[in-house]
Amino acid sequence: MNILVVGGGGREHAIIKKLIENPLVTHIYALPGNGGIASQAECVPIAATDIEGIVNFSKKNKIDFAVVSPDDPLVLGVVDRLSELSIPCFGPDKKAAAIEGSKVFAKELMKKYNIPTAAHEVFSKSHEALKYVETAPLPCVIKADGLAAGKGVIIANTLDEAREAICLIMDEQCFGKSGEYIVIEEFLTGPEISVLAFTDSKTIVPMVSSMDHKRALDGDKGLNTGGMGAIAPNPFYTKEIAAQCESEIFIPTMEAMKKEGRPFKGCLYFGLMLTENGPRVIEYNCRFGDPEAQAVLPLLKTDLLTIMRAVNEGNLQSVDISFSDNSSCCVILASKGYPQDFEKGKEITFSEDTDNKNMFIAGARLENGKLITSGGRVLGVTAVAQTLKEAIETAYCDSDKVDFANKYYRTDIGKKALEGKF
């Protein structure tokens, strides 16, 4: 089978390394892929946001199955376009991807179907939002409606910060059209849990839970990033909490999307917060999380392509999906300065005893056979072990086997999970 994978980060590398385990897979095209993905797939320099480019490439090359991984092409409707070419896809169509593409849509959906989340108000005019925050409890959370490269959420601790955020998003349009509408939300506290789930809109199968580490610096300090590491499973996600989430959040969300005429097929990501009053949805994503996928997929025992095809065919119920009982830890090695200014173009070297099975390249290109840094998040180093403690220790030990000038990583991935504190 010829497989097309849209995307080019660590998450896509983790997906591709799983897909090639299936002997039916003879060739993978990655659009655009990256220098590490090039070891498993043919990388074609077409951006994940270049919908016409992806469609034209798919017309010219025989594609048997497509996996659309990042948010932008999903929200832009690439699955609809590929389906018109009769190419079976893993990933939601445009109508279903709105669950991530519009925070207003997601919040209204949860309100309508009583899915537990933070209380919220929606605004389309900045003066009304500014008036509202005068009396709103602080801190409050201000969110741009549309996609904003993971930067569209601002936690305002003071009234001045709230005013500044509203002006930045709505008047100065720092996220462009994504800020035409904003959501102002109640601030919640508690441990965060990511649950990715396969769904064909009839059956929903949650994967092993995980925990992202979004801030750039140790102790959850510094700026928000795309994610500096992840562990799985998340120890805060007990069996009882899982059962509650399944009946109060996961199934109701799948059913709600169906009732709205937007059946969701693909990977539905639940960003949850475990508050004193129970689990609440913080955000939905219409795809695998990154770096969560780099921690979760190495624990998947069932063949990934089989699951993805069953999702596409509406046959998920027939697949027995299982995960190993082990734990995993993924440490992201980044370029120092990320998520702001950082240098690129540094050679990446690996010590001789490196096992790169669970190393996932994100920001690196190939130059004369050498891997050269080309992004902020350079690679993810995942270790799997019987205990979380061991997985963390091994991931850090393996991280020392990779070297490049400006290498930077957090030293406390998994610490909160291990200590049971948040």
Could you list the residues that contact ligand AMP (CB under 6 A)? 118, 141, 150, 153, 155, 185-188, 192, 214, 271, 282-283
Closest to ligand AMP by CB, 136 vs 311, is 136
Burial code of 334-373, b = ≥16 C-beta within 10 A, e = fewer? bbeebbeebeeebebeeeeeeebebbbbbbbbbeeeebbb
> Could you give the CA distance from residue 336 to residue 357 in angstroms, rounded to a whole number?
25
Distances (CA, A) of 161 to 167, 168, 296, 401: 10, 10, 36, 42
Site residue total, ligand GLY (CB under 6 A)? 7
Residue 113 corresponds to which tokens in the numbers above?
A: 């179907």
The least distance separating ligand GLY from the CB of residue 227, rounded to whole angstroms, comes to 4
Q: Closest separation between CB of residue 187 and ligand AMP, Å?
A: 4
Q: Residue 103's CB: how many other CB atoms inside 10 A?
A: 27
Looking at 50, 192, 292, 398, which residue binds ligand GLY (CB under 6 A)?
292
Distance in Å from the first CA to the final CA of the chain = 45
The two structure tokens encoding residue 372: 């050269």
Q: Is 285 a binder of ligand GLY (CB under 6 A)?
A: yes
- 227 interacts with ligand GLY by CB under 6 A: yes
Q: What's the closest the beta carbon of residue 46 comes to ligand AMP, in angstroms? A: 27
DSSP output for 98-109: HHHH-HHHHHHH
Instruction: By CB under 6 A, tell whether 212 contacts ligand GLY.
Output: yes
Q: Check residue 290 for interaction with ligand GLY (CB under 6 A).
A: yes
CB of 196 to ligand GLY, least distance (A): 9
DSSP-assigned letter for residue 38: G
**Based on CB atoms, which residue is closest to ligand AMP, 32 or 278?**
278
C-beta of 27 vs 214, nearer to ligand AMP: 214
Closest contact distance (angstroms) between CB of 71 and ligand GLY is 8
Q: Work out how close the CB of 23 gets to ligand GLY at its nearest, in angstroms, rounded to a whole number.
A: 30
Q: Would you state the structure tokens that stand for residue 308, as one six-digit string?
A: 């993805």
Q: Which residue is nearest to ligand GLY (CB)?
A: 289
Q: Which stretch binds ligand GLY (CB under 6 A): 36-44, 91-99, 282-290, 324-332?
A: 282-290
Residue 383: how many other CB atoms lie within 10 Å = 25
Rg, the chain, Cα only: 21
Q: Of the two residues 207 and 272, which places its CB atom closer to ligand AMP in the complex? A: 272
Binding footprint of ligand GLY on the chain (CB under 6 A):
150, 212, 227, 285, 289-290, 292
